[in-house]
Amino acid sequence: MAAVSLNGGLVTLIEHIGVAMEDTSNVTLALADASAFEAFKQELKASFSVAVEETFGAVEASLIPSDADIDNSLTAPDAVVHHILLDGVKVGGAIVTIDEATQHNALDLFYLLPSTHGRGVGYRAWQAIEQAYPQTRVWMTHTPYFEKRNIHFYVNKCGFKIVSFYNRYYPLPDDEERGSKAHKLEFFGFEKVMR
């Protein structure tokens, strides 16, 4: 069984074997306001749960950002919350922290609904973020060590370099002060030098 959709005259064929060609739809960003934060949190947690379940066979709550961790990112000084839109429909979100003085900016949280995975939407969303902040000198982010899809995305698709391995001996900066459980997990830290 195959699904066919027409996008601007282009035919995208998705075979039953699960191989998808790149989606040619339009990906844009929209600023999110505080009234959207609760839905943002729930969608982010559901999206992160997919990788945890694929890796460990069950969703383990300690491997998914807590409400408190997400709230800290949503309300951090200099945080900007974006919806990711695919042809005007919300399919994900991103929280970036913009340091106007140094332009060493951070991608704090980034998610896409699982239905968009493997279609090039994430890469185009990342390009939209880069274009929205052209003064950025360095982008920083991190992802759990077990998130192979994310590691591939950041390194092979987006051009980030792995610069740190966070673990119990070298915890994520500021996590212990925030009371986060993240310092108990292992993460890779990434940077992308823009200029």
pLDDT digits (tens, 9 = 90+) for 63-72: 789 899 999 9
**Partners of 83 in beta bridges:** 30, 93
Q: Which helix (H) or strand (E) holds 19?
A: none
**CB neighbourhood size of 111 (10 A):** 22
> What are the structural domain ranges in the chain?
25-193
> 132 by DSSP, 3-state: which?
helix
pLDDT given for residue 56 in this prediction: 86
Q: Is the pLDDT of residue 9 over 50?
A: no
**Partners of 139 in beta bridges:** 105, 192
pLDDT given for residue 27 in this prediction: 96
pLDDT given for residue 25 in this prediction: 78
The token duo for 160 is 């980030």
CATH architecture of the domain with residue range 25-193:
3-Layer(aba) Sandwich (3.40)
Q: 97 near 74, Cβ under 8 Å?
A: no
User: How far is 41 from 26, CA to CA, in rounded Å?
Assistant: 24
Weakest mean pLDDT among 10-24, 53-67, 166-180: 10-24
User: How far is 4 from 12, CA to CA, in rounded Å?
Assistant: 6
- Considering the chain, what is the average pLDDT of its residues? 85
Residue corresponding to tokens 């982008």:
139
Q: How many residues are given for the chain? A: 195
**CB neighbourhood size of 121 (10 A):** 21
Position 59 confidence tier, pLDDT thresholds 50, 70, 90:
confident
pLDDT digits (tens, 9 = 90+) for 137-172: 999 999 999 999 999 999 999 999 999 999 988 888
In this prediction the pTM is 0.82
Q: Is the pLDDT of residue 5 over 70?
A: no
pLDDT digits (tens, 9 = 90+) for 25-40: 799 999 999 999 999 9
